[in-house]
Amino acid sequence: MLGVLYGLLGLIFTPFLLLFALFGGKAGGPFALFGGVFFALMVPIFYAAMGFISGVIVAAIYNLVAKWTGGLEYQVREVPPSA
């Protein structure tokens, strides 16, 4: 789930990075332009991968701590809407 969230964040950042790459690439030449555009297009993939990996690590740590402490227990009940 965290990988999807970070991937969506990467998609939000991508248009801004593309703009920066296009404007910065004019001053740096064609290699800088290609590198900037390539980096901007790889950001969502990199963010999603890092989000997935960090989600796996955090889930493993939580499961380890929950095993030691007994975890969290809660009860849910439905409350009727007030008039």
User: Using one digit for the tens of pLDDT, what is the confidence trace for 17-51?
Assistant: 888 877 766 666 777 777 778 888 888 899 899 99
Percent of the chain surpassing pLDDT 90: 27
Q: Provide the residue ranges of all domains of the chain, joining segments of one domain with +.
A: 2-69
In this prediction the pTM is 0.66
Shortest CA distance to 17 belongs to which of 49, 48, 47, 43?
43
Q: Which residue has the tokens 């701590």?
A: 65
Check: CB of residue 54 under 8 Å from CB of residue 2.
yes
Task: Quote the DSSP letter at residue 74.
Answer: -
CA distances (Å), 2 to each of 24, 28, 31, 43, 64, in order? 31, 35, 33, 15, 19
Copy the structure tokens of residue 14.
């991508």
